[in-house]
Amino acid sequence: MRVVVIGAAGRLGGKLMSMLPATYEAIGADIGGDGVAQLDVTDFAATRAFIAEQKPDIVIHTAAWTDVDGCAKEPEKALVINGYGTQNVAIATAACEAAMLYVSTNEVFDGTANRPYYEYDRTHPINPYGYSKVVGERALMSLNPRHYIVRTSWLFAHGGRNFLQAILGAAQAGKSLRVVTNEIANPTYTDDLAEAIVKLIQTERYGIYHLVNEGACSRWDFARYALDKAGFKNTPIARISTHEWPRPSVPPAYTSLANIAGAAQGIQLRPWQQAVEAFLEREGLLVS
Catalogue the active-site residues.
Answer: 129
Would you call 196 exposed, middle or buried from its count of C-beta atoms within 10 A (0-12, 13-18, 19+)? buried
Q: How many CB atoms lie within 10 A of CB 51?
A: 27
d(CA 260, CA 244): 35
d(CA 174, CA 110): 35
Phi, psi of 279 (to 5 degrees): -60, -50
On whether the CB atoms of residues 219 and 180 are closer than 8 A, the answer is yes
Q: Report the candidate in 132, 128, 42 with the shortest Cα–Cα distance to residue 91.
A: 42
First-residue to last-residue Cα distance in the chain: 42
Q: Report the candidate in 163, 30, 143 with the shortest Cα–Cα distance to residue 88.
A: 143
Phi, psi of 115 (to 5 degrees): -155, 165
d(CA 188, CA 198): 16
d(CA 151, CA 156): 15
d(CA 53, CA 154): 35
d(CA 123, CA 194): 24
